[in-house]
Homo-oligomer: A and B are copies of this chain.
């Protein structure tokens, strides 16, 4: 059963908030009403989302916090390690490599790749920066399925083609370019400028 994107996103928010302790730090049980209040949502929605993945609550008690974390984490694929590579060792690639959250949530970065000789051989956030020539080797020998694209738009499609050819199945695309992939590869576009527009709209209204 394929879980819908909107449900996945809400489950992810719930997962990260519970792990971070934003909602209840030490409690054993948590009710859908408390969760809903934190996210400014309807409590029925919380129960329905958890029902989708088969998490059961208990009348008068609510849901077991640790069970929710474990089950949601399992469904989201965050309970076991996900190895990844980062294409582009600029500031954004560096920020992603250094972000402690990824390791915490099961995503480890195997290496960064760049064409800039000044960057090749350096280390960013405990990850080595390799030449793009090493890309295929690294991905194959570590059986990596996830790639983060932080390279310039001009080379995004070319990099994508190489990634797909060598077995990458999921691409997190931070370049503003639309990239083409075969049907069995999933792309998530992260166009942060779009969020900016919502703010400037309100400022200039």
A residues with CB within 8 A of B: 3, 5, 8-9, 11-13, 15-16, 20, 22, 38, 75-78, 80, 82, 90-92, 94-95, 98-99, 101-102, 105-107, 145-146, 169-172, 176-178, 186, 188, 190-205
Contact = CB atoms under 8 A, between A and B. Distances in A.
- Total identical chains: 2
A191 B95 contact: no
B190 A195 contact: yes
Nearest to A187: B199
Nearest to A186: B202
Nearest to A3: B201
B22 A201 contact: no
A13 B203 contact: no
Given A186-B202, A202-B170, A204-B80, A197 B20 contact: no
B106 A12 contact: no
B200 A22 contact: no
Given A16-B194, A194-B16, A204-B80, A199 B95 contact: no
